[in-house]
Structure 1
């Protein structure tokens, strides 16, 4: 497993390295600038002293009338001591020394080769040269007689070692400040790391990165669409399912939700702190089930999250579960019915009524063969076969005569994706017919199926009480029922929703002399046109 540094340690090391680099660069610049300034400052001091010495009358007299140089040596030496200079040298136009801190060098030529500017051009300047005493910073100026003629030169110098010692004194103070700054930076890095860690709920950066990756993987793996906005109503999160359901691209992230999903309830709710929305809403032609959640940041509104999914997908799951439950009930009914028949046969045999038992068995076999001929020879679709077998058993248990019209003929096999819808349509229509004849003395339900043309036509007829004129327009409404009890009135509403998906239609008419006929028309090739609902009394 990879070892990760803590946030405090990482901040401390990285900031210390950064401060060290900055300190090194600043120190280099400081040394260069301060050294140059020190040289310049000492040079100006040397030049000022040289100018003052060049104006002393005794100096000019020595150079003019050729007096003994020793006469001005004490004077110059006194000035040198008071100014702090390393040397003050007076030379004639030939560069021969008249004064020097070391008397034995008086009378010798000046060393350094930097007298030309003063003796030839009459300039006053600062120079850096190697003299008899060593490298020094010098101030040089010409000496003029009363006729403004150059008669000599004054050279005042400070040794480089002296200049550097002054520079080093300033450098030590600068280094102490650098150490203090480094310590402040170190403490600041630790405090900053602790502050950031509090803001990140005590999580290390690598932990935050892992959570971010996990969140992305989770968002992309769930089937529900998820879209989140910040307090300004701009999109911050958008998973793949949301892109597919809403038909928007990844470029929508960062844009205002009202621009991406204009004139929609979802956009209105997500863009406003106080707005609320319905659990069911429409976006375009899609009916969505939506849940909203506000993001709270310590009592401050920070945005909203909406999770949603297409109602059609949920409805398919509900239909599938409903039919599984229905199949389970049908199988129990079939088992119960056959158990009763076996008990009856067993009883007849025990009582010696062998002929009656044989007659009953032959009757059942004949009826079964009749059903099997129509089911397995004339109806090719396995889904419809399974539905009808289940309903035959249910009708037998309820003592309902369930007739499968001998002229029924289905040669078309429906695609797998239509299975749930077909189960919902046929199953619920037959269940409603069974309920309609439950109180009839001789209950009878008949079904006819054909697909000779372009549509699958299913006709279910019963001899029940029928539907009154005032209720015929309400039977497809969800929750409407003429039966007592709750959780009823959903059968035909589910049929209508499934027909809409298959682009089919339903027609309800009266059966003569009594009862109801339900005709279903389902196109084999589904187009883009909406279904037509036709009610005829």
Structure 2
């Protein structure tokens, strides 16, 4: 059974506070008892020294006078000092005074008088006397010549000393109990605070999320890098290390130190920029998206997700192919449905010869196209584009001819797919638009890569383009056609050609129409 965070903190806090309290209590009892006995002992010793210096005491002991002379006097001193007993003895330890008058004249008990009577020392001792165990202060009595003539013993019972200690212990225990309550309450509040900071998650749940996050970050192909408020790296996944050529552990390091003089590092250390951008690092073009981290309304850092632009172009290419195939299928279905209706009508009307002739013409055209498309053109991207445009031309009733001398043997790199689709597709679509109002619309396309370039020549018999408009039509938004959503196709062609280091020529087609000739170098295209 797993304990909750609050329960763990409460139990562990109570155990910790209890252990600390027990240790403190043991130390207190040991130290305070000794300290109390020392203090009482010093008090007894001070009193003993004071009594030993009284001239009357010295005179009585030196002259061996009657003990009854000292008994009342010493008893008053004892009562005022609070001592349990003050015993005065001669050099033979015979009592001159005692709280119990019956014990006067008897020997002192305890066996702890030697240091005072022999060595002349003042000291504190603990011994069992006639009244029981006590703390005693011992001081020798000297005559006028400095000889030791007696001893003063002032004592406090051990039971009295311990009662003083116990009174202090009760107060100490009260404070310990208060500390225990504060410790338990503090543990509970700390658990509540940590639970709030961890969004109510238990430690094992946080550990699970941490492991899952690590697995997710390392499994995704997109690069991820995050920084804190100071611009120090807090997260970087494997894909990001590959794209950015990072080989060391960079967690905790400043992003400016890891990626010096880069736009990515600059943006990740600033708060203001957010959104999608394009940047170049180590000659690799990256598409980057920045997202701010909100820390309860304050700036908490930034996350950058990025991928290589060529990878994105590959996705675009795949989507373009799917879209192209979908359009081709719709066009072919529509066109062949119409042709089937025509053939069916002729057969029902009895015009079988006309139906046969139409079928033979269609088969002949198809065979002619297939020979050029599948035998003389080997690039699958160009094949797909031309098949789609043939179907579209058939649907629009445009005579679309692929020159029989067309020949493409070079396998163009996959990273060029998106650009080829843009260039060829838009050039042919532009020709479709040019012949839309022509009585007998015709488009002829010739393709070859026999030399160092891919050459694509598209000729139409449309309305043509004025010579003054040759430079204008490549600009985005400019169009010779009326209406909206025009003027973008040729600008996209121009952008793709710049990327592939190619160029476009525009000439007039005699007797009418326009010829577009595209040149794409094989070397430049492969490098891009």
TM band (smaller chain): 0.7 to 0.9
SS at 1:507's partner residue? strand
Structure 2 Cα separation of the partners of residues 310 and 490 of structure 1? 25
Deviates more, 1:156-165 or 1:473-482: 473-482
Unaligned runs of 5+ in 1: 531-537
Query: What's the CA shift string for 1:244-297, capped at 9, x where partnerless?
Result: 666668866555666666666666666555x45675454556364645557363
Q: Which of 23, 37, 40 is 1:39 aligned to?
A: 37
SS at 1:484's partner residue? coil
Change (3 A) 1:5 1:91: same
Change (3 A) 1:349 1:272: closer
Is 1:507 matched with 2:507?
no
Structure 2 Cα separation of the partners of residues 262 and 118 of structure 1? 86
Q: Which of 337, 355, 358 is 1:357 aligned to?
A: 355
Change (3 A) 1:220 1:475: farther
Give the structure 2 partner of residue 402 of structure 1: 400
May I ask how many residue pairs the two structures share in their alignment?
523
Structure 2 Cα separation of the partners of residues 116 and 238 of structure 1? 83
Unaligned runs of 5+ in 2: none
How far 1:139 sits from its partner (Å)? 1.0
* Superposition CA RMSD, Å: 4.0
How far 1:231 sits from its partner (Å)? 5.2
Change (3 A) 1:497 1:251: farther
How far 1:144 sits from its partner (Å)? 0.5
Q: Which of 171, 180, 183 is 2:181 aligned to?
A: 183
Structure 1 Cα separation of the partners of residues 119 and 207 of structure 2? 74
Structure 2 Cα separation of the partners of residues 263 and 476 of structure 1? 36
Change (3 A) 1:122 1:135: same
SS at 1:339's partner residue? helix
How far 1:482 sits from its partner (Å)? 2.8
Is 1:18 matched with 2:16?
yes
Deviates more, 1:147-156 or 1:348-357: 348-357
SS at 2:119's partner residue? coil
Give the structure 2 partner of residue 523 of structure 1: 522
Change (3 A) 1:375 1:414: same
Is 1:340 matched with 2:334?
no
Query: What's the CA shift string for 1:124-147, capped at 9, x where partnerless?
Result: 122234445444322111111110
Deviates more, 1:229-238 or 1:142-151: 229-238
- How do residues 112-511 of structure 1 correspond to structure 2 at under 5 angstroms? 112=111, 114-131=112-129, 133-191=131-189, 254=252, 271=269, 275=272, 280-284=277-281, 286=285, 288=287, 290=289, 292-293=291-292, 295=294, 297-298=296-297, 314=312, 316-414=314-412, 419-452=417-450, 456-496=454-494, 503=500, 505-510=502-507
Do the aligned residues in 2 keep the contact of 1:295 with 1:305 (CA within 8 Å)?
Answer: no
Is 1:54 matched with 2:39?
no
Change (3 A) 1:476 1:239: farther
Is 1:86 matched with 2:84?
yes
SS at 1:399's partner residue? coil
Structure 1 Cα separation of the partners of residues 504 and 217 of structure 2? 44
Do the aligned residues in 2 keep the contact of 1:266 with 1:277 (CA within 8 Å)?
Answer: no
Do the aligned residues in 2 keep the contact of 1:246 with 1:283 (CA within 8 Å)?
Answer: no
Do the aligned residues in 2 keep the contact of 1:504 with 1:523 (CA within 8 Å)?
Answer: no
Query: What's the CA shift string for 1:37-75, capped at 9, x where partnerless?
Result: 211210111101211221234433443233344554454
TM-score normalised by length of structure 1: 0.80
Deviates more, 1:284-293 or 1:399-408: 284-293
Change (3 A) 1:195 1:227: same
Do the aligned residues in 1 keep the contact of 2:45 with 2:123 (CA within 8 Å)?
Answer: yes
Structure 2 Cα separation of the partners of residues 271 and 461 of structure 1? 54
Change (3 A) 1:193 1:115: same
Change (3 A) 1:78 1:460: same
How far 1:35 sits from its partner (Å)? 1.9
TM-score normalised by length of structure 2: 0.81
Give the structure 1 partner of residue 110 of structure 2: 111
SS at 1:17's partner residue? helix
Structure 1 Cα separation of the partners of residues 522 and 129 of structure 2? 115
Structure 2 Cα separation of the partners of residues 477 and 312 of structure 1? 25
Do the aligned residues in 1 keep the contact of 2:335 with 2:395 (CA within 8 Å)?
Answer: yes
SS at 1:121's partner residue? coil
Query: What's the CA shift string for 1:430-466, capped at 9, x where partnerless?
Result: 3233333333444333333444456544444444445
SS at 1:447's partner residue? strand
How far 1:22 sits from its partner (Å)? 3.3
Give the structure 1 partner of residue 4 of structure 2: 5
Do the aligned residues in 2 keep the contact of 1:142 with 1:154 (CA within 8 Å)?
Answer: yes
Change (3 A) 1:327 1:268: same
Do the aligned residues in 2 keep the contact of 1:323 with 1:424 (CA within 8 Å)?
Answer: no
Structure 1 Cα separation of the partners of residues 479 and 163 of structure 2? 108
Structure 2 Cα separation of the partners of residues 436 and 194 of structure 1? 74
Do the aligned residues in 2 keep the contact of 1:123 with 1:142 (CA within 8 Å)?
Answer: yes
Structure 2 Cα separation of the partners of residues 387 and 492 of structure 1? 17
